[in-house]
Amino acid sequence: MLSREDMLELTRRMTPARTCFDRVAGSYRDEDGIEDGSFNIHFLKLTDKEKAENLKIAKAIPYSETKVQLKSYKFPGDSKRSVEMARLLYAIKSCSLKNDALLETFYELIGDSYSGEGDYGIYLFHGAYDVPVKGKDKEWLEGSETVYEFIICAICPVTGDYEAGEPAWGFLYPSFVNRCEDRDHIAIYNIDPGNEDIGFLNMLGLLS
């Protein structure tokens, strides 16, 4: 189960000085889902301004209100779409966003299903978090228990010069539960919890 404490722990490594991200990629789309440009770059090669802008986008997903704007979904596993999407996301995570063919497949799926209004950008972040040991008194100890490797996706409205607005949809995969990777679940972000995008959820294979 998602917890606010776990999400806040994760966001502590989403700062310019201590970023957990090593790569960011994305695709710009018009309102019909047609690509209007893309990028794929090592995070540390961004300018300070670009780092701050991208961290703001990425951090908005786990920092959102848990169980309201950020909800856990289980991949049903009983449909071809669910199995294939889980495999695609895991492959994108495992290649650290370095396989452009996988990314293009993912972007096209979103372009065919996302129902937002106006031009938008699909932003993908790859990160790795050395989960520190925590004592019984919840004090941080030296050393790391495990490495949590993950991707964050954010879909944001963009202006004509590709300036991103606040994320409208997104996700964290694999989910971060009890300070560990939960490969069977994905944390879906929605800026407007009362307006579910059925096409987006169906594309992700989350609807049986």
**In whole angstroms, what is the distance from residue 182 CA to residue 180 CA?**
6
Total Cβ atoms within 10 A of residue 87: 12
pLDDT of 9 over the 80 cut:
yes
Look at strands 140-157 and 169-173 and give their pairing.
antiparallel
Q: What is the pLDDT of residue 116?
A: 82
**In whole angstroms, what is the distance from residue 157 CA to residue 6 CA?**
28
**In whole angstroms, what is the distance from residue 32 CA to residue 27 CA?**
13
120-172 pLDDT per residue, tens: 999 999 999 999 887 555 555 555 678 999 999 999 999 888 999 999 999 99
Q: What is the pLDDT of residue 199?
A: 84
Contact 123, 164 (CB under 8 A): yes
The encoded tokens of residue 120 equal: 């938008």
Q: What is the pLDDT of residue 169?
A: 95
- Asked whether the bond before 174 is cis by omega within 30 degrees of 0, the reply is yes
User: What is the reported pTM?
Assistant: 0.94
Residue 108 DSSP symbol: H
31-64 pLDDT per residue, tens: 999 999 999 999 999 999 999 999 999 999 999 9
